[in-house]
Amino acid sequence: MNADPIDNERKSEQARQSRTRPTWPMLILGGTLAAASIYLVAVLGLTFYWCQQPATFEVAATIPDSAFAADGKPIPGSALVSTTIRIGETLLDKPGGFLYNDIAPPGILIDNCPSWECGVLMALRDTLRSLRNDFSRSQSQSLENDDVKRADLQFAIDPKSWMFPTAEDEYRQGLDALKQYRDTMAGKPGGGHFFARADNLADYLNVIEKRLGNQASRLSSSIANQALTAALIPNLDGTLTTAAAPDTPTQTPWDQVDNVFYCTRGYSWALLHVMQAIAIDFRDILEAKSAQSLVQQIIRDLQGAIQTMSSPMVLNGDGYGVFANHSLTIASYISRVNASVLDLKTLLQDG
């Protein structure tokens, strides 16, 4: 007996639908892939947004009205202290906040921005240490200023600390101490002082000279081509930039090249504002030493070191190859800054 054609067609349609109907495992897999794709896009978007270098700010605008004397000039030290506070606030309040101590995605997946933060933090610590040891004391036997001492200690905490206490909380307490110090400089009880002397400034320049020299050496080690490195970044005595001999070249690991680059960018960004503040607070000293042009040269080279990149990633080319070498490019700026800092220090000491 022949089968009903209608039944056969119905059975064929049911079989076809059973083959095309998604099963639960397929639905789960599809949902997982969709969620992962959305998460990846969100992380990439946050990475791009969070890792944009903060814009530079006007140093003179950070000085509060209470820090101006009767003649309309800012109280010595008010520019440097106010700038240090603003740098710290930018470090903590920029998009994404402070990422260096993040232990969960997406922050833990980002390394360029935390490296930039590391450079800014180094510059802050250098400035705070000089404020504590030199600028706020009339001589080496003088008592330390309690507010500056507290700020220095608060910023000494490990930046990776994420609870009990968090690094951000400690840094904010340090900024509060700096604000208290600035208030006492403006005439409030407490006797905060700032000594804008040539020897104090020379001591600070000695600190950043060593820091810049270290960063230039790390940057120049992005490739093992010693001849190219020496041609681009010679030391003042004409020797090679790196400490190693030409036959034993050292090279920064490939996965650390961008970290060193962004660390230097962060340090340069902070140091640019510090030098602009020094140009205000030490105007009389710099004019007496005919050193203003050197400070302006340092500022111009630091602006060159932090200029906007057109490449989405740090390139590590070699010589006249197809790709640029961003590490050696910024290292050339840093070496010029270091040379100018050395000339300025010598002029302050001997000029």
Q: What is the pTM of this model?
A: 0.86
User: If you compute the radius of gyration of the chain from its CA atoms, what whole number of angstroms results?
Assistant: 28
For the chain, list residues with pLDDT below 70.
1-22, 187-191, 224-249, 319-320, 351
Burial class (CB in 10 A: 0-12, 13-18, 19+), 40: exposed
- In whole angstroms, what is the distance from residue 146 CA to residue 132 CA? 9
Residue 212, pLDDT score? 94
Nearest to residue 338, comparing CAs of 305, 316, 292, 290? 305
Span 141-170, pLDDT tens digits? 788 999 999 999 999 999 999 988 999 999
186-195 burial: b if 16+ Cβ within 10 Å, else e: beeeeebebb
Residue 309, pLDDT score? 86
Residue 74, phi-psi category: left (phi > 0), alpha (psi -120 to 50), beta (remainder): beta
Residue 131, pLDDT score? 96
Residue 245, pLDDT score? 44
Residue 47, pLDDT score? 78
- In whole angstroms, what is the distance from residue 217 CA to residue 215 CA? 5
